[in-house]
Amino acid sequence: MTAPHPALGGGPIYLDYNATTPVDPRVAEAAFPYLGAWFGNPSSAHAYASEPKQALDRARGQVAALIGADPGEIVFTGSGSEADNLAIRGAVLAARTPRPHIVTQTTEHPAVLETCRALERLHGVDVTYLPVDHDGRVDPDTLAAALTEHTVLVSVMAANNETGALQPITELARITRAHGALFHCDAAQAIGKIRMNVAELDVDLLTVVGHKMYAPKGIAALYIRTGTALEPLVYGGGQEHGLRAGTENVALAVALGTAAQLAADELAADGDQRITELRDRLHTQLAQALPGRVRLNGPAQGRLPNTLNISITGTRGHELLAAIPQIAASTGSACHSGEQTASPVLRAMGLNEQRGLSALRLSLGRWTTPAEVDQATQLIAAASPTFST
C-alpha cells in the first residue's frame, strides 16, 4: 500500500471510493508541470508545443497499455458521461439507419440510460432495456432474444457502481458482434480494480474514467476499436482523431495516464487481493457483530473486490450514516419531496422497498487500512440498534 494520503488524515473513515477516489499525490505531481512551465498547445508547431505533445502521446499510450489497446484507439474526453455519450450517440448517428435499435439494461449508470432516452425522444431510436436477475446480472440469452435486424449498438456496464456485480461482458459482446452490432462497455467502476483487456472482452467501445482510479475529476477516455465509425460529439478543430474538438487538457491527460500506469502496477502486485481481504473482513465482522441482521445485496462471487453492499435489518441507511459522521459512505437511495426511496438498482434486482432503504454501500480503496475497517465495524454496529423501520 502507498503512504498515507494527506487529504484523509484526521478526517472521517473514507468508504466511498466508488463515488470518487482521492487524487494520488504521484498523479498530481506528474500533472503539475503542465499547468505551469509546459503550458504550450500540443497542436502548435514551435518549441513550446514539443513537451506537451510528447506528454499527450505518452498518456495515450499508458491508458492504452492498461486495457490492451493501441494508443491510436484512445480518445480523451472531459468525463465518463461524455465518453458514454460519444459512444452511444456517436454510434447511432454514424449508423445512418432509418429506425436504429439500441439494447441496454435497467441498472446502467444514468449517463447511459439518459443518453438512450434522449435518442428515443429526439431521434426516434428504439431502445430495449433488459432486466437483471437477483444478482444484478443480464442473462445472455435475454440479450440474444432482444437483438433485431435494426440493432446497431448494445451498451452494458462492466461492473455496477452500487453492488459491484460484474456482467458477463465477453459473452454479451460476442453475441452482439456475431449479430453485426457494436458493443459498448462503461468500465468506469472496473478499470483499475480488476484486470480488463479489450481484445479478450471483444468490445468495440469502452469507457475509462479518471476520478474512479485516483486521477482528478474532469478527465476520461473512450477506447474505440480501429475501424469503428462514430459521429463526433464536439465539432471543431479536429483534435482527438476528429471526434472531440477543443485544445487538449494536457495536464489532466497526463494525470489519467499516470493513474493508468499506477493501476497496472497495483494490479500486478496483487493490490486487488489486499482490497478483497479487507472487504471480506468488514463483511464478516459486521455479520458477527449484528447476527442475523446483515444481508448481502448482489452476488457473493463475481463482483468488484472493493465493494460491499449490505442491508441491515431494522435500520434505514440514510439515518444510520447520518448518525455516524465518522464514516463517509453511501446508500444508493434517493430523496424525492422529502421521502426516501430505495435505489433503482436494488429494486431492479427484486429487493423490496424496506430492504432497499436499509442498504449501505461501503467501497474501499488504495488507502483503506485494517484499523479503519475494524473501527468502521464498531461504529456501524453500535449505531445500528438505534433505528427501526
Percent of the chain's residues with pLDDT above 90: 87
Per-residue pLDDT tens over the stretch 132-152: 999 999 999 999 999 999 999
Q: Does residue 387 surpass a pLDDT of 80? A: no
Q: Helices marked H in the chain — which ranges?
A: 25-31, 47-67, 80-95, 110-123, 140-146, 169-178, 198-201, 250-268, 271-289, 317-322, 344-348, 353-357, 370-383
Tell me whether residue 149 is exposed, middle or buried, using C-beta atoms within 10 angstroms of its C-beta: 0 to 12, 13 to 18, 19 or more: exposed
- What would the mean pLDDT of 60-70 be, rounded to a whole number? 98
185 is catalytic: no
* Residue 260 DSSP label: H
Helix (H, G, I), strand (E, B) or coil at 303: strand
**Grid coordinates given for 224:** 474505440
Q: Does residue 344 surpass a pLDDT of 90? A: yes
Identify the pLDDT of residue 336. Answer: 47
Identify the pLDDT of residue 272. Answer: 81
Alpha-carbon distance 131 to 153, whole Å?
17
Identify the pLDDT of residue 96. Answer: 84
Work out the pLDDT band at 268, boundaries 50, 70, 90.
Answer: confident
Q: Which of 45, 268, 335, 371 is an active site residue?
A: 335
CB atoms within 10 A of CB 333: 22
Alpha-carbon distance 332 to 58, whole Å?
37
The pairing of strands 13-14 and 327-328 is: parallel
Q: What is the C-alpha radius of gyration for the chain, rounded to an integer number of angstroms? A: 21
Q: Does residue 263 surpass a pLDDT of 80? A: yes
Is the Cβ–Cβ distance between 334 and 248 less than 8 Å?
A: no
Residues in contact with 290: Cβ distance below 8 Å, sequence separation at least 6, in sequence order:
312, 381, 384
- What would the mean pLDDT of 164-185 be, rounded to a whole number? 98
Residues in contact with 361: Cβ distance below 8 Å, sequence separation at least 6, in sequence order:
16, 18, 162, 163, 307, 308, 309, 329, 330, 331, 332
- Tell me the C-alpha to C-alpha distance, in Å, between residue 13 and each of 16, 24, 158, 327, 372: 9, 17, 27, 5, 6
Alpha-carbon distance 362 to 376, whole Å?
10
| pTM over 0.85, yes/no | yes
Alpha-carbon distance 279 to 269, whole Å?
18
Q: Does residue 386 surpass a pLDDT of 60? A: no
Identify the pLDDT of residue 266. Answer: 87
Q: Does residue 333 surpass a pLDDT of 80? A: no
Work out the pLDDT band at 271, boundaries 50, 70, 90.
Answer: low
Q: Which residue has the higher pLDDT, 237 or 87?
A: 87
Q: Does residue 389 surpass a pLDDT of 50? A: no
Q: Does residue 370 surpass a pLDDT of 90? A: yes
Work out the pLDDT band at 270, boundaries 50, 70, 90.
Answer: low
Q: Does residue 337 surpass a pLDDT of 50? A: no
Helix (H, G, I), strand (E, B) or coil at 106: coil
Is the Cβ–Cβ distance between 50 and 41 less than 8 Å?
A: no
Alpha-carbon distance 97 to 99, whole Å?
6
Please give the span between the terminal C-alpha atoms of the chain, in angstroms, as a whole number: 40
Identify the pLDDT of residue 4. Answer: 74
Nearest to 195 by CA among 258, 260, 135: 260
Per-residue pLDDT tens over the stretch 348-359: 999 999 999 999
- What would the mean pLDDT of 230-252 be, rounded to a whole number? 94
Work out the pLDDT band at 98, boundaries 50, 70, 90.
Answer: confident
Identify the pLDDT of residue 90. Answer: 97
Identify the structural domains of the chain with CATH numbers, from first to last: 13-23+270-386 (3.90.1150.10), 25-267 (3.40.640.10)
Alpha-carbon distance 379 to 386, whole Å?
12
Helix (H, G, I), strand (E, B) or coil at 127: strand
Mean of per-residue pLDDT scores for the chain? 94
